[in-house]
Amino acid sequence: MQNFDHSTTLKTAKIRLDRHLPYFKCNNVIFDISKKKSKDFYSLIVSRKAQLPSNANKLRQNFNLTEEELKLVFALPHKVAYEPYEKAFWYKILNLILYTNKKLLKIGSSENEKCNFCDNESETFDHLFFIVPSQIYFGQILKVLSFQDIILGILTSPCPLLNYIILMGKLYIWDCKRKHIHPYIEGFKQKIKIYCQTEKYIASKNNDLVNFYKKWPENILL
């Protein structure tokens, strides 16, 4: 028969009891779980999750955004993007964790910060997603859009399709950079067609073509 150390057992039991106190402190406020209802738990979980990321203040200063605009900036990827990798790509840009050559040089993963396309300027977000396309590839499209529109999305009015096309433009540039090929306007149009046809196929399978045509104009596939 095993020999139990009763003093240790009692001590362990006391610690267990302490660990299961029916309350805890959150933001210096006592949360008594024996008195709270399910909606209080839900509010607590959401309040701790639904916080703007650490880069939010930097974006607010750089683009002179109001509190409401800042919230919209981080809500847009969820409203506009379709696939998880599209949302993830957008969030990486907003949180400055998309690894451009400039960033790779900074962390010692590259010996060169120059842009893959022109091999001349430093590869920053504004160079990669705005300067290069506006000067060489998508000049006409970008004439009416600002740097803020390209990086954050259009905030001033609801433009889900235009915001989606802006996202596709950035994804197209990023894909070309990774594949070491030059972007060109016909390649970008082809990408839009493929996205559109894929969504149309899914919508028709789900018997939801009405919503598909609300998003995509009929002549975009021409």
Whether residue 125 contacts residue 151, with contact meaning beta carbons closer than 8 Å, is answered with yes
Task: Please report how close the Cβ of residue 79 comes to Zn ion at its closest, in angstroms.
Answer: 31
115 part of the interface to Zn ion, by CB under 5 A? yes
Provide the b/e sequence for 190-214 (b: ≥16 CB within 10 Å).
ebbeebbeebeeebeeeeeeeebee
Task: Please report how close the Cβ of residue 173 comes to Zn ion at its closest, in angstroms.
Answer: 11
Total residues at the site for Zn ion (CB under 5 A)? 5
118 part of the interface to Zn ion, by CB under 5 A? yes
Compute the distance between CA of residue 58 and CA of residue 65 in angstroms, rounded to an integer.
10
Residue 130 DSSP label: I
Binding Zn ion (rule: CB under 5 A), the pick from 117, 125, 174, 195 is 117
Compute the distance between CA of residue 89 and CA of residue 83 in angstroms, rounded to an integer.
10
Stretches 45-53, 54-62, 115-123, 178-186: which one binds Zn ion (CB under 5 A)? Answer: 115-123
Backbone angles phi, psi at 63, to 5 degrees: -110, 5
Task: Please report how close the Cβ of residue 132 comes to Zn ion at its closest, in angstroms.
Answer: 5
Task: Please report how close the Cβ of residue 124 comes to Zn ion at its closest, in angstroms.
Answer: 10
Task: Please report how close the Cβ of residue 179 comes to Zn ion at its closest, in angstroms.
Answer: 16
Nearest to 171 by CA among 196, 203, 195, 200: 195
Q: Which residue is nearest to Zn ion (CB)?
A: 115
CB nearer to Zn ion: pick between 80 and 115 = 115
CB nearer to Zn ion: pick between 59 and 115 = 115
Whether residue 112 contacts residue 126, with contact meaning beta carbons closer than 8 Å, is answered with no
Compute the distance between CA of residue 160 and CA of residue 157 in angstroms, rounded to an integer.
9
Task: Please report how close the Cβ of residue 120 comes to Zn ion at its closest, in angstroms.
Answer: 6
CB nearer to Zn ion: pick between 118 and 159 = 118
105 part of the interface to Zn ion, by CB under 5 A? no
Compute the distance between CA of residue 205 and CA of residue 197 in angstroms, rounded to an integer.
12
| Contacting Zn ion within 123-162 (CB under 5 A) | 132
Q: Which residues bind Zn ion (CB under 5 A)?
A: 115, 117-118, 121, 132
